[in-house]
Chains A and B, each alone.
Chain A
Amino acid sequence: MSKRRSLTEAQCVSLAQKLLRERLCHQKLPDRPLALDSQYKHLLELLRRTAVHGESNSVLIVGPRGSGKTMLLGCVLRELMSLKEAQKNVLLVELNGLLQTDDKIALKEITRQLHLENVVGDKVFGSFAENLAFLLEALKKGDKSSSRPVVFVLDEFDLFAHHKNQTLLYNLLDVSQSAQTPVAVLGLTCRLDVLELLEKRVKSRFSHRQIHLFSSLSFAQYVDAVRAQLSLPPDFPDPKFSDAWNHSVTVHTQHTSRSVFTNKSYTQSLFLTSFSVRVSVSHSTLHEADLLEASRLISADSKAIILHGLSILELCLIIAMKHLNDTYDGEPFNFQMVHNEFKKFIQRKSHSIHKFEKPVVMKAFEHLLQLELVRPVDSGVCKVQREYQLMRLMLEHGQVMEALQRYPQCPTDVKQWALSAFA
Chain B
Amino acid sequence: MSRYITRLRMRRTYKWNGRPVGEDRKLKRQYYESMSISVEGKTEDATVSLGQYILIEGDDDDNPFVAQLLKLYTDDSGKKKTAVLQWFVRMCEVPQNKRKLLGRDPHPQEIFFYQDRSCDNEVDGETILGAVQIEYVPVQDPFPVGKSRDILFVKLLWDTKSFRALDPELMQPSQSPKSPPPSSRGPQTRALPTPDPSVMKRAMSGILTRGSMSTGKMSSSEAESLHSASKLSAAKALSAKRRSQAVSGPQVRKKLDLCSPSKNMSRDDVLGELLDERSEKTLTSKLNTSPTGRISISIRLTPLNLNKEECVSPLSSHSPDKPRMTAHDKDDAASVFLGVQPIEDDDPEPLINTGRTPRKREATPRRAGLRGLKARTPSRRKDSAALREPALAALAEEEHEDSPINTAATSRSKRKSAQLVSSRIKKQLNLLGNKIGLQSDGEDGDDDDCFIPSKIDLQSSSDEEEEAKIDSEDELIVKKHRGSGTSRSTEKTRVSARTPRKTPSKKTAPATPRTPRHATPSIPSRTAPARKPGNVLEEARARLHVSSVPESLPCREQEFQDIYNFVESKVIDGTGGCMYISGVPGTGKTATVHEVIRSLQQSAEQDEIPHFRFIEINGMKMTDPHQAYVQILQKLTDQKATPDHAAALLEKRFSAPAPKKETVVLLVDELDLLWTRKQNVMYNLFDWPTRRNARLVVLTIANTMDLPERIMINRVASRLGLTRMSFQPYTFKQLQQIITSRLNRVKAFEEDALQLVSRKVAALSGDARRCLDICRRATEICEHSGSQKNSSGLVGMSHVMEALDEMFSSSYISAIRCASVQEQLFLRAVIAEFRRLGLEEATFQQVFVQHQALCRVEGLQPANVSEGLTVCQRLGSCRLLLLEGSRLDLFLRIRLNVSQDDVLYALKAD
Report yes or no: A147 in contact with B811, Cβ–Cβ below 8 A.
no
* Contact pick for A141, options B523, B773, B812, B819, CB 8 Å: B523
Report yes or no: A53 in contact with B527, Cβ–Cβ below 8 A.
no
B residues near A (Cβ < 8 Å) are 512-513, 515-516, 519-533, 538, 541-542, 545-549, 584-586, 620-624, 627, 630-631, 670, 673, 703, 765, 767, 769-770, 773-774, 776-777, 780, 784, 806-807, 810-812, 814-815, 817-823, 845, 848, 852, 860-861, 863-867, 870-871, 874, 877-880, 889-891, 897
Q: Which residues of B contact A85 (CB under 8 A)?
A: 528, 531
Report yes or no: B516 in contact with A118, Cβ–Cβ below 8 A.
yes
Q: Which residues of B contact A212 (CB under 8 A)?
A: 811, 814-815
- Bound-state CA distance A74–B547 (Å) is 28
Report yes or no: A135 in contact with B822, Cβ–Cβ below 8 A.
no
- Bound-state CA distance A251–B788 (Å) is 42
Report yes or no: B815 in contact with A214, Cβ–Cβ below 8 A.
yes
Report yes or no: A193 in contact with B515, Cβ–Cβ below 8 A.
no
* Contact pick for B877, options A190, A208, A209, CB 8 Å: A190
Given A64-B878, A193-B879, A207-B773: A263 and B820 interface contact (C-beta under 8 Å): yes
**Shortest distance in angstroms between A389's beta carbon and chain B's nearest beta carbon?**
16
Does A259 belong to the interface (CB within 8 Å)? yes
Q: List 21 A-B contacts (CB under 8 A).
A: A52-B531, A53-B538, A56-B547, A117-B516, A134-B521, A144-B530, A146-B529, A146-B530, A171-B620, A171-B621, A182-B530, A204-B586, A204-B769, A204-B770, A205-B585, A207-B773, A209-B777, A214-B819, A261-B821, A263-B822, A396-B848
A residues near B (Cβ < 8 Å) are 41, 45, 52-56, 62, 64-65, 85, 88-89, 91, 103-104, 114, 116-118, 120-121, 123, 125-126, 128-129, 132-139, 141-142, 144-150, 165, 167, 170-171, 174, 176-182, 190-193, 200-201, 203-205, 207-210, 212, 214-216, 259, 261-265, 299-304, 330, 372, 375, 392, 394-396, 398-399
* Contact pick for A399, options B520, B815, B865, B878, CB 8 Å: B865
Q: Taking CB as reference atom, which chain A residue is nearest B873?
A: A65
Q: Taking CB as reference atom, which chain A residue is nearest B527?
A: A88
Q: Taking CB as reference atom, which chain A residue is nearest B889?
A: A394
Q: Which residues of A contact B546 (CB under 8 A)?
A: 177-178
- Bound-state CA distance A82–B867 (Å) is 42
Q: Taking CB as reference atom, which chain A residue is nearest B548?
A: A179
* Contact pick for A89, options B528, B821, B870, CB 8 Å: B528
Given A64-B877, A117-B519, A264-B821: A192 and B769 interface contact (C-beta under 8 Å): no
**Shortest distance in angstroms between B684's beta carbon and chain A's nearest beta carbon?**
18
Given A205-B769, A299-B864: A179 and B519 interface contact (C-beta under 8 Å): no
**Shortest distance in angstroms between B813's beta carbon and chain A's nearest beta carbon?**
10
Report yes or no: A394 in contact with B530, Cβ–Cβ below 8 A.
no
* Contact pick for A201, options B522, B620, B773, B874, CB 8 Å: B620
- Bound-state CA distance A54–B533 (Å) is 10
Report yes or no: A165 in contact with B877, Cβ–Cβ below 8 A.
no
Report yes or no: A133 in contact with B631, Cβ–Cβ below 8 A.
yes
- Bound-state CA distance A300–B32 (Å) is 103
Report yes or no: A208 in contact with B521, Cβ–Cβ below 8 A.
no
**Shortest distance in angstroms between A142's beta carbon and chain B's nearest beta carbon?**
4
Given A192-B811, A193-B897, A204-B586: A139 and B523 interface contact (C-beta under 8 Å): yes
Report yes or no: A132 in contact with B523, Cβ–Cβ below 8 A.
no
Q: Taking CB as reference atom, which chain B residue is nearest A204?
A: B585
**Shortest distance in angstroms between B592's beta carbon and chain A's nearest beta carbon?**
15
Report yes or no: A125 in contact with B516, Cβ–Cβ below 8 A.
yes
Report yes or no: B622 in contact with A132, Cβ–Cβ below 8 A.
yes
Report yes or no: A301 in contact with B864, Cβ–Cβ below 8 A.
yes
* Contact pick for A116, options B512, B521, B620, B773, CB 8 Å: B521
Report yes or no: A262 in contact with B547, Cβ–Cβ below 8 A.
no
- Bound-state CA distance A303–B848 (Å) is 15
- Bound-state CA distance A303–B890 (Å) is 12
Report yes or no: B818 in contact with A201, Cβ–Cβ below 8 A.
no
- Bound-state CA distance A262–B823 (Å) is 8
- Bound-state CA distance A176–B545 (Å) is 10
- Bound-state CA distance A379–B90 (Å) is 71
* Contact pick for A120, options B513, B548, B811, B880, CB 8 Å: B513
Q: Which residues of A contact B512 (CB under 8 A)?
A: 123
**Shortest distance in angstroms between B142's beta carbon and chain A's nearest beta carbon?**
32
Q: Which residues of A contact B673 (CB under 8 A)?
A: 165
A sample of 12 more A-B contacts (CB under 8 A), given A53-B538, A55-B541, A104-B623, is A55-B542, A89-B528, A117-B522, A133-B621, A134-B521, A141-B522, A146-B526, A171-B621, A191-B877, A200-B703, A201-B703, A204-B586
Given A62-B811, A129-B624, A399-B864: A181 and B523 interface contact (C-beta under 8 Å): yes
- Bound-state CA distance A104–B860 (Å) is 50
Q: Which residues of B contact A45 (CB under 8 A)?
A: 780, 784
- Bound-state CA distance A103–B620 (Å) is 12
Q: Which residues of B contact A132 (CB under 8 A)?
A: 621-623
**Shortest distance in angstroms between B97's beta carbon and chain A's nearest beta carbon?**
16
**Shortest distance in angstroms between B486's beta carbon and chain A's nearest beta carbon?**
21
Report yes or no: A264 in contact with B820, Cβ–Cβ below 8 A.
yes
Given A52-B530, A121-B513, A200-B703: A129 and B630 interface contact (C-beta under 8 Å): yes
